[in-house]
Amino acid sequence: MAVQAAELAKASQSKYTNFAIAAIVAITDRFLPEECKKRLLGVLRMTQIEQWLREEGREEGLKEGLKEGEMKGKRETARRALLKGISPQDAADITGLPLEKIIEIERDLTKVTC
């Protein structure tokens, strides 16, 4: 019924179309089976709501990527600081990483590889 309601809302081409489809998605998200959610997504294709969802996903992905890159940079800075003989506490203060993470990085540096 949710898919049919979304199809009807999409076909109506009124100024409330996006509102109706958004309401259907919000109301059904918690209880709709995965198969029906996929069908509902098919109805959303080429609607302004789909464009908004895609933009939101891109923004979230960008934020996540930047955050991951920042953490990678902090870990590399900590690794280099430890290699230069800086104490784990100072490396933690410099990078903002938790001392436990610095100690973990230090342990990895002392592992012997063949």
Residue 4 clears pLDDT 80, i.e. is over it? no
Q: What's the CA gap between 112 and 31, in Å, rounded?
A: 52
Verdict on whether the full-model pTM lies above 0.85: no
Tokens describing residue 112: 């012997």
In the chain, beta strands by DSSP E = none
Domain ranges of the chain: 67-114
What was the pLDDT predicted at 51? 67
Tokens describing residue 4: 């049919």
Q: What's the CA gap between 102 and 112, in Å, rounded?
A: 18
Q: What is the pLDDT of residues 9-60, one digit of tens each?
A: 777 777 777 777 777 777 777 777 888 777 777 777 666 566 666 677 777 8
With b for 16 or more beta-carbon neighbours within 10 A and e for fewer, the 90-108 pattern comes to ebbeebebeeebbeebbee
Q: What is the pLDDT of residues 77-113, one digit of tens each?
A: 999 999 999 999 999 999 999 999 999 999 999 885 5
